[in-house]
Amino acid sequence: MKALLVLVAALAFAAPALASEQHPTLTELENQLMCPVCAGETLAQSDSLPAQRIRAHIQERINQGWTRSQIKRELVDIWGTRILAAPPRRGWNLLAWVLPLVGILGGAAAIAFLAWRWSRRREEPEPLPGPWSLNGRPLDPELERRLDEELARFDG
């Protein structure tokens, strides 16, 4: 039953992804691509001439039935990887994907470890007070007996 649920969930997610790969839209692609001559703007945000030309070219390719990967590959060939809004998942660029994950997992592990230590410390019983002492030396039993008597008299 569980396996069936997992399969259904996987298909539910895979179907739109496959549809987007096979039949991409201009809106989707212009948000995944950068304007290569603008400072940090996606194609969707830029109104520069190169951005307009690239958008027109993408629409042309979509009309010709190109897939999302084919369109992106062609643009990367012409402009280099700087046209991609997200770095490719290979080579040095893989670090951009892996490091945040490592940071999140490392941070979560550190928080969990600190929380565990903190809760363990609170569970530990308070240490019992040691025997009465004077300047670090235990009291003389006779003196301790007299002290107890005095205190009892004082209380009572």
- Least Cβ distance, residue 70 to another protein (angstroms): 14
- Least Cβ distance, residue 112 to another protein (angstroms): 14
Residue 69, C-beta contacts closer than 8 angstroms, at least 6 positions apart: 21
> For another protein, which is the closer residue by CB, 80 or 138?
80
Q: Which of 60, 65, 73, 64 is nearest to 32 (CA)?
A: 73
Q: Is 3 in the site for another protein (CB under 8 A)?
A: no
Do residues 20 and 32 make contact, with C-beta atoms less than 8 angstroms apart?
A: no
> For another protein, which is the closer residue by CB, 35 or 44?
35
- Least Cβ distance, residue 150 to another protein (angstroms): 44
- Least Cβ distance, residue 40 to another protein (angstroms): 17
Q: Is 108 in the site for another protein (CB under 8 A)?
A: no
**DSSP assignment of 112-141:** HHHHHHHHHHHHSPPPPP---EETTEEPPH
Do residues 72 and 85 make contact, with C-beta atoms less than 8 angstroms apart?
A: no
What character string, x for contact with another protein (CB under 8 A) and - otherwise, covers 13-52? -----------------------xx----------xxx--
Q: Is 10 in the site for another protein (CB under 8 A)?
A: no
Residue 55, C-beta contacts closer than 8 angstroms, at least 6 positions apart: 26, 30, 43
- Least Cβ distance, residue 57 to another protein (angstroms): 6
- Distance between CA atoms of 69 and 24, rounded to whole angstroms? 9
Helices and strands (H and E) in the chain: how many: 6, 2
Q: Is 79 in the site for another protein (CB under 8 A)?
A: yes
Would you tell me which residues interact with another protein (CB under 8 A)? 36-37, 48-50, 53, 57, 77-80, 92, 95, 99, 110, 114, 117
